Chains A and B, each alone.
Chain A
């Protein structure tokens, strides 16, 4: 192992090609992962912020927020299901907004909600709304009044909240009365009656699992379809398709990384047959040589990750904000673990060759 380490330190040029190729692969994986996370979080942050574990849709809505309608009597039935603790309503429409001092029309996901969640405090006074921080970046200021929809229904900005986007639009949070007023003036067909909402958010009693509560609601209230929060998020249009496509691309990239490591280590092993022959002749076991190769593969993967990570951060700094790129620690951890595993598998392909190296090759032929 010490010998392998010294080779890496003193002969870095030997590993430069493999390291360079892996660095580019790291940049690719991190950027693809960042785009996937950016798209996913941009589409789902507002729902992920909800504290409730179960989302309830009307049965015929096929788990679509925009088609779902739940009236007050159905809400009471859901609230009566054993294990359900609190039940609140949540509704959303997409509306353009205009503000003084902002030239362009901005798109907003306008939510009606009843109770605070992980990122949004309790509903503000009627006629006011909390705005996602992205609107502040566009030039909207707290305390000003903005116009919603073609009717330019006025709502006052109560303040800003962080990390609440929906379908890549900033969210605006208001009480059901304000929401119904805005929707009534701009999208009359989407107005909800008193006590009605598009979906219900259900929190279970302490110790009640969200999955089993969703199944109980499904079984006991025939008019509704209940999903866990995670399933409701994945049920949003395009979300699971996006995920499948990106995961497939990232998986293929990891496979390519494995092939790169395998190919380079196979070539490096061929280059070093003489050296390994001498090491074996003086008593180094094949296992020790293989362990050295593994160490080199892991260190090259780590080095590539550090350089690739730095390049990705540099690129992220110059990529325009309009591109949904989100570099998450979780993604970095997945990438480095995946890369190390891939590098180990790739280098392991050379082990057979190492075992077959005959120590007698160290002795000249005569």
Chain B
């Protein structure tokens, strides 16, 4: 079963009398352990597709399935539960909670999904160690470098063992060397866990880490 299936998905926004089409009949399958790079120019619909796949936005038309969950018809509360249990997000610029330490940034999402106590702590410490941050567990995001923050964000995305991890421009705030390191780390982590991943990027130098590259333009996915 694919980890992600988008079937004939449309997303439109009303703007006065005109309709803006952000995603136009997009269909995409991502296999259980596949890493897909989604590339396209600004305004092409990459973020809209990512948001719909992660249950942040509801499609106007079409169906979205993540693993065994058909989320197209989910309400707000169901989507909130779905996001905390089945999807991991890595946002552009990390977007960590600034007053929580690296470890606490991981524990907070574990806590949301009911993963608490010693086992959650062990998992958070284990992930941070894997990500090369064992010496940074008690540091606040402000005390970390850009690359370290992005690695904490990757740990947070993996904390609840999601079926699908979505990366939104994970290297945009990093220099190319650090970007390469982060992409390598992403590939190692998702491949090591057999997790599906969609990586939105406009940097074509990073796409060779993915199993497949899908291009998007004007809301349409290239065949």
- The stretch of B42-50, B124-132, B174-182 that contacts the partner chain: B42-50
Whether A280 touches B99, Cβ cut-off 8 Å, given contacts A3-B108, A360-B56, is no
**In the complex, A3 Cα to B113 Cα: how many Å?**
15
Cα A284 to Cα B89 in complex, Å, equals: 13
Q: Mark B139-171, 1 if CB is under 8 A from A, else 0.
A: 010000000000000001000000000001100
Report the stretch among B28-36, B65-73, B78-86, B189-197 that lies at the interface: B78-86
> Contact: A363 with B91, CB < 8 Å?
yes
- Tell yes or no: A359 within 8 A of B by CB: yes
**In the bound complex, CA of A362 to CA of B57 (Å):** 12
Interface residues in A279-300 by Cβ distance below 8 A to B read 279-285, 288
Interface with B: A4-12, A33-41, A150-158, A327-335, which one? Answer: A4-12
Q: How many residues of B contact A (CB 8 A)?
A: 39
CB nearest neighbor in B for A9? B99
Residues of A within 8 A of B54 (CB): 281
Instruction: Give the residues in chain B near A2, CB-CB below 8 Å.
Output: 108, 111
A363: contacting residue among B40, B56, B104, CB under 8 A? B56
What B residues does A363 contact at CB under 8 A?
A: 47, 50-51, 56, 89, 91-92, 168
CB distance from B164 to the nearest CB of A (A): 14
Categorize the interface residue count of chain A.
Answer: 20 to 34
Taking a contact as CB atoms under 8 Å apart, the answer to whether A283 and B81 are in contact is yes
Nearest residue, chain A, Cβ from B140: A10
Alpha-carbon distance between A237 and B104 when the two chains are bound, in angstroms: 63
For A275, the closest partner residue in chain B by CB is: B97
Closest to B91 in A: A362
B99 touches A278 (CB 8 A): no
A285 touches which one: B42, B50, B77, B200 (CB < 8 A)? Answer: B77
Residue on B with the closest CB to A14? B99
Within 8 A of A (CB), among B77-116: 77, 80-81, 83-85, 89, 91-93, 95, 97-100, 104, 108-109, 111-113
User: Do A6 and B47 touch (CB < 8 A)?
Assistant: no
Say whether A73 faces chain B, with CB atoms less than 8 Å apart: no
Contact B92 A364 (CB under 8 A): yes
Query: Are B91 and A359 in contact, CB atoms less than 8 angstroms apart?
Result: no
Bound-state Cα–Cα, A3 to B98, Å: 11
Q: Is the CB of B97 within 8 A of A359?
A: no
Assuming the contacts A3-B100, A281-B91, A285-B77, asked whether A366 and B200 have C-beta atoms less than 8 A apart, the reply is yes
Q: How far, in angstroms, from A6 to B172 measured CA to CA in the complex?
A: 30
A-B contact pairs, 27 of them (CB 8 A): A3-B100, A6-B100, A279-B97, A280-B80, A281-B83, A281-B89, A283-B81, A283-B83, A283-B84, A283-B85, A284-B80, A360-B57, A362-B89, A363-B47, A363-B50, A363-B56, A363-B89, A363-B92, A363-B168, A364-B91, A364-B92, A364-B93, A364-B169, A366-B42, A366-B43, A366-B46, A366-B200
